[in-house]
Structure 1
Amino acid sequence: MPRPLNFRQIEAFRAVMQTGTTTAAAAMLHTTQPSISRLLAQMQSASGLKLFDIQKGRLRPTHEARELFQTVQRHFLGLERIEQNVATLRQSGTGELRLGCTPALGLSVMPAVVHAFLQQHPDVHVSLQTIGTPQLREGLLHGQFDLALSTMAMRHPQLDATTLHRGNAVCVMHPAHPLAARKALHVCDLQGQVLLTLHADDEIYLQLQDTMQQHGIAAASTVETTYSATICMLAAQGTGVGVVNPYVAAVFAPQLRTVPLQPRCPVEVVLAFPPQSAPSAMAERFAALLQAHFAALRGAAG
């Protein structure tokens, strides 16, 4: 009665089919020729098939052996692909890293960190999308990102966000602006100025408007835009005084005068992973580089 074949028998059969002799098969599998012969005999007995005959002292595969070999080859090629995939994962995680961040961080923080990451992992494909915080939150919840970075809170019961850095909003203006000589600006100094601000649901905007109302301050006019980078470019043209996060202000520092704003308007950089699964090795390595980047910023400020 036929019996189940075991892996060692199939491995020996494959080696003989590939090399043509039991001696060469033994060398291929780092075993002895009698061991290969014994495994072949066991396989023929277990399968109930005649797999080889001997002609002039040489093994000759039967038609059944050739048919079986095609199936065995497909099986082993599948195993080899699995082993290759495991090796790739071990070396470079998933081989792809999907990042999401707000546009200001995509302009300021992410380029340096992505560069440092690719210096360590040049074979990893990186996808970086710069979108608003609501879209980042939805992308995380739907598994579209391996991690996301924002200067706004990503509030959701399923998301566990970590604060990587705390800073304060700054004022930016043309170096020749009348307020540019100040070491710091109080919100009262914005009275009668052309104010460059972000859109009405941005946390910096909300904090600024609340503080201005508390002090009874009114701007002469307001230019509202979606991106902090646009505020910086408008300020560089001398259009007015902008209030932005310190990260994007640093990018445009050569073109602008940047001064602290009082009372302070806190800004936090938060990191979140998708809740559906544990972070990949690549995502954890990228997060470690982000932490190192912000630790260096704290050191430079201290």
Structure 2
Amino acid sequence: MTLRQLEILRAIIRYRTTVAAASQLGLSQPAISNAIKAMEAQTGFPLFERINNRLFPTREAQMLHDEAESIFTMHTILENKLRDLKESKAGHLRIVATPPIGYGVIPSALRQFLAQRPQVQVFFDVRRYEGVIDSVESNLVELGFAIGLEDRPGLHCEAVFTGDMVCVVKPGHPLADKPLITPADLDGYPFIALERGTRLGEAVRESFRKAGQPFKHAVEVRYCNTACVLAESGVGVAIVDPFSPRYGAGDELVVLPYEPVTRAVASVTWSKSRPLSRLAQAFLAEVRAGAARMERDYRERLSRRD
């Protein structure tokens, strides 16, 4: 079937009548009817059932429609690229990140990047780890950012920031004045745990095992940002990545070093199957610069505590 035939099939399924489909596509009603006959002759099975002057797709037609959606998605992306070229726009960049990076490093890098490129259009989404990987592997985005990225066939992976997990408490909390926090210090206080099965959640649990301390929690959350908001509200104490305390809540949050040292590595990934565009390279340079500044600040804070 041609793309035009699939487009007609899609319109009929969406609007249920040949008249409405014809109006939407700028064709005549007889042209739509003839297209249905041609497609049914080509496939060898009926595509629609007529009920009360409305057309309802057969199971086979619905399956064709569902499979064709990815084609239309890619076609839309291609049309957007062509429109950008036609209108002499500077370009289009698509990126995705997990929440700690998406709410931490990316916004400041994006501000600097767009300040110098006002004509650039950016698509930016925040997703879970699996969503970041899937988006990069399927070429829906050029760059993906996450904590705990692992080497995968077909993907480049580069660390942009390495820090340590920290403890966050509300000002005035009994632990707020301690020079550092260990799992034993948390015993007896409501603990906000990161979700079991996630990379950071398992890393925190492993740190408790190393310290020989039983892992108990009052609340379990998916994201470090959520843990920071709850800690600031006085719900409990949390162990989170070093980005989220700065961006996940307000200023009323005490950040303390945590031992055993638990690394949090923020990385970027992109597909090996195609070279990065000039826009992606420029944005990645901004991220590296921003991460370097953040790492310097992080090390300075640690040295002041020492």
Partner Cα distance (1:233, 1:261) in 2 = 19
- How is 1:263-282 mapped onto 2 (pairs within 5 angstroms)? 263-282=260-279
- Quote the residue 2:146 is aligned against: 150
Moved more, 286-295 or 251-260: 251-260
SS of residue paired to 2:171: coil
- For residues 220 and 271 of structure 1, do their structure 2 counterparts lie closer, same or farther at Cα, with a shift above 3 Å needed? closer
* 2:190 is the counterpart of 1:204: no
* TM-superposition CA deviations, 1:56-91 (whole Å, max 9, x none): xxxxxxxxxxxxxxxxxxxxxxxxxx9x939947xx
Shift of 1:159: 1.2
Shift of 1:263: 1.1
Partner Cα distance (1:176, 1:236) in 2 = 11
Moved more, 137-146 or 147-156: 147-156
Partner Cα distance (1:253, 1:261) in 2 = 21
- For residues 123 and 154 of structure 1, do their structure 2 counterparts lie closer, same or farther at Cα, with a shift above 3 Å needed? farther
Instruction: Write the letter of the residue equivalent to 1:297.
Output: M
Contact 1:193-1:220 at 8 Å conserved across structures: no
Instruction: Write the letter of the residue equivalent to 2:213.
Output: I
Instruction: Write the letter of the residue equivalent to 2:170.
Output: H
1:140 aligned residue (118, 129, 136): 136
Contact 2:205-2:215 at 8 Å conserved across structures: no
- Quote the residue 1:129 is aligned against: 125
Contact 1:174-1:238 at 8 Å conserved across structures: yes
Q: Which runs of 5+ in 2 are unaligned?
A: 1-81, 301-306
Instruction: Write the letter of the residue equivalent to 1:275.
Output: K
Q: State the aligned residue count.
A: 216
Q: Percent of pairs identical after alignment?
A: 24
Partner Cα distance (1:280, 1:87) in 2 = 19
Instruction: Write the letter of the residue equivalent to 2:110.
Output: V
1:285 aligned residue (276, 282, 287): 282
Shift of 1:219: 5.0
- Quote the residue 2:97 is aligned against: 101
Q: Which runs of 5+ in 1 are unaligned?
A: 1-81
- For residues 221 and 297 of structure 1, do their structure 2 counterparts lie closer, same or farther at Cα, with a shift above 3 Å needed? closer
2:296 aligned residue (273, 295, 299): 299
- How is 1:67-216 mapped onto 2 (pairs within 5 angstroms)? 85=85, 88=88, 92=90, 95-216=91-212
Contact 1:194-1:219 at 8 Å conserved across structures: no
* TM-superposition CA deviations, 1:83-120 (whole Å, max 9, x none): x939947xx3xx11101000121111111111111001
Partner Cα distance (2:107, 2:168) in 1 = 22
Contact 2:211-2:260 at 8 Å conserved across structures: no
Instruction: Write the letter of the residue equivalent to 2:264.
Output: V
Partner Cα distance (1:182, 1:253) in 2 = 21
State the Cα RMSD in Å: 2.0
Which structure's CA Rg is the greater one?
Answer: 1
SS of residue paired to 2:251: helix
Instruction: Write the letter of the residue equivalent to 1:285.
Output: A
Contact 1:152-1:203 at 8 Å conserved across structures: yes
- For residues 220 and 268 of structure 1, do their structure 2 counterparts lie closer, same or farther at Cα, with a shift above 3 Å needed? closer
- For residues 257 and 232 of structure 1, do their structure 2 counterparts lie closer, same or farther at Cα, with a shift above 3 Å needed? same
Instruction: Write the letter of the residue equivalent to 2:131.
Output: Q
Partner Cα distance (1:253, 1:272) in 2 = 30
Contact 1:140-1:275 at 8 Å conserved across structures: no
- For residues 219 and 175 of structure 1, do their structure 2 counterparts lie closer, same or farther at Cα, with a shift above 3 Å needed? farther
Partner Cα distance (1:210, 1:247) in 2 = 20
Shift of 1:203: 2.0
